[in-house]
Structure formats: C-alpha cells, structure tokens
Structure 1
Amino acid sequence: MIKEKVKTKQKTFARLGYTKMETAEITDAMNKLLANFSVHYQKLRNFHWNVKGADFYDIHENFEEQYNEAIEAIDDVAERIRVFGQTPMSTMGEYISTSEIKETGTDLSALEMVSEVLKDYEILLEHMFNVIEISIENGDSGTEDMMKGFVKSIEKRYWMWTAFSHKG
C-alpha cells in the first residue's frame, strides 16, 4: 500500500492557529460591529428614557430589554476580539467615527424611535453577515456561531417592531 501525502493548508501561528492577516480581518470586522452596536445601545437608552405617548409603558420596557441584550452582545464581541489577542475599540470617539449608526435627539415620537431602531437593525445585520462571511472564509466557527445567535435575536426583534409599526 502506498501512502498518499495529504496536503493541508499551512498556517503561520499567530493566535489560535490563525495568521496575522486572518486575525486582522476577523477582528476588524468585529470592531466595526462593536462600534455600531455601541452607538445603537446608547440610542436605545436615549429612547428608553425619553419615549412618550399612549404606548409609553410597553415601548419603554421593550427599549430596556433591547439595551440589556445589546450590552451583553457588546461584551461578547469585545471579549471575542480579546480572544484573538487584539484590543477592541472602547472609546465613544472611536465608536462615533466608525459607526454607520448615528445618534439621534430626544425629540422623536415613539414611532420615529421605532423606525430608527429598525434602520439600526438593518445596519447591524449587514455587519453581522459580514462577520459571518469572514469567519467562514477563515474557518472561525466560534465567531460564526456567536454571530448567528445575534442574527436570530435581531431578526425576531425586527419582526416584532415591524408588526408594531405596521411596516411589515
């Protein structure tokens, strides 16, 4: 019997078996998501504090649930970046300059706030899908799995808000 030589992809060890280029690609995408999630989180707090109107109680409580979920996701993303030996973005200046999600004022109606959250979710999902794609390309099943959990949660929230606002 002749032994066949099996070719395997050789990686220069940098961290967890990923090359420096792979690590940079994965963590750069996660940092962009982190920045967007962080601005979204603060926007949810703003809306929680300042929502008014007939649906105040339900929306107020829902915004609180959402910002609590967002802060957990932010922590998970930042810690995942640390797993790769990199430093996550951590200042408001970095978040604001990197994020596609923009701050809003406090003078929005409840429906305008919901509309803003829906737009944020579209941006967050776009970044999550980008991280998933990069993770798959680089064989990073840990990050891929984490992102898919976020996607599932955001898609459900998106559906609920579109049903509430009659946009879906």
Structure 2
Amino acid sequence: MEVLTKTYSRLGFSGLDTAEMVTTMNKVLANYHVFYQKLRNYHWNVKGSDFFDLHEKFEELYTSAVTNIDEVAERIRVFGKTPMSTLAEYLQVSDIKETGTDLTPIEMAGQVLADIETLDGFLVEVAEAANEVGDMATMDLMNSMIRSLEKQHWMLTMWLNNSKN
C-alpha cells in the first residue's frame, strides 16, 4: 500500500497551495463589504407597504454578512496573509457596486438577489481551490456560506415573485 505524504509548512499548505484561495477570499471580502453597506442602506431607506418585511430581512442579512466577513478575514490570517481591509480597496476590487437610496422595495430585493449570485460565485471559486489542495476547513466554511446564501436567495425570490403578482 502506497502512503501519500505531503510537505508540511503552515497547516500543511504552502504559500502556492493557498495563493489562489487567498486572492479569491480577498475578492469575497471586498464584495461582502459593499454588499453589507448596501444592505444597511436598504434597511435604513426601505419604504412602503413592504417596510416591515424587508427592514427585518435586510437586518438579518447584514448581521450574517458581518459574521461571514470576519470568518473570511480570519481564514486569510490562518494562512499567514493579510486580508484586504480598506474601503478604497473594497470599492476598487468589488464586482458588487453601490446604489442610491431611492430604490423601490422590488428594486432593492432584485439588487440583493444579484449580489447574492455574485458572492456565491466567488465562494464557489474559493471552495473549488480549497478542494484542489485538500483544505477541508476552508471548503466547510465556504460551503456553509453558500448554503446560507442560497437559502436567502430562494426566500427573496419567492417574496419578489409574490410582490410582482
């Protein structure tokens, strides 16, 4: 029976093993920060008959986003790297863009759905890179976030479909 061995450095992963993950995790951080601020904007500025539903949902989402941001930044630190941490960097790197305060509730929900899809794509990239190097902890973290975002996407999609009818 052949025994597989791995060269151990930091937690068993070399800088090359984690480079792609760290780069993409920094993109996750940038996108999550802009997403977080958009959710705060929407939470504060939603109006109309959907106020109570969306005000509460946006708060739930931004509270979750803060936790996920911290988890991703700390995972980057586990690999001995420094997470991206300035607003200027986030705005430059993020695919998610800011919006104004004058959106309708339906437009806000649509923006959140699109942003969840963007975040999901980056989380999948990190999970795939982690899988390639056998990093089960990062895969688990990303899969947990993916699962949560996909549930939120489904719920908002159902709300949005109901609101348009």
TM-score, with length taken from structure 1: 0.92
Aligned to 1:163: 158
Amino acid in structure 2 at the alignment position of 1:108: L
- In the alignment, structure 1 segments of 5+ residues that lack a partner are none
C-alpha deviations, 1:71-125, integer Å up to 9, x for none? 0000000011111111001100111111100000101001000000000011011
Alignment equivalent of 1:72, drawn from 48, 53, 67: 67
More helix by share: 2
Rounded to whole Å, the distance in 1 between the matches of 2:42 and 2:26 is 24
Structure of greater Rg: 1
Task: After the TM superposition, list the runs of 4 or more consecutive aligned residues in structure 1 that deviate by more than 4 angstroms.
Answer: none
Structure 1 vs Structure 2 CA RMSD: 1.3
Matched, 1:84 2:115: no
Aligned to 1:133: 128
Matched, 1:11 2:10: no
Rounded to whole Å, the distance in 1 between the matches of 2:138 and 2:62 is 22
Matched, 1:118 2:113: yes
C-alpha displacement at 1:25, in angstroms? Answer: 1.6
Aligned to 1:151: 146
C-alpha displacement at 1:12, in angstroms? Answer: 5.8
TM-score, with length taken from structure 2: 0.94
Is contact 2:6-2:12 (8 Å) kept? no
Rounded to whole Å, the distance in 2 between the matches of 1:70 and 1:28 is 19
- In the alignment, structure 2 segments of 5+ residues that lack a partner are none
Give the share of equivalent positions with the same residue, in percent: 51
Rounded to whole Å, the distance in 2 between the matches of 1:90 and 1:120 is 20
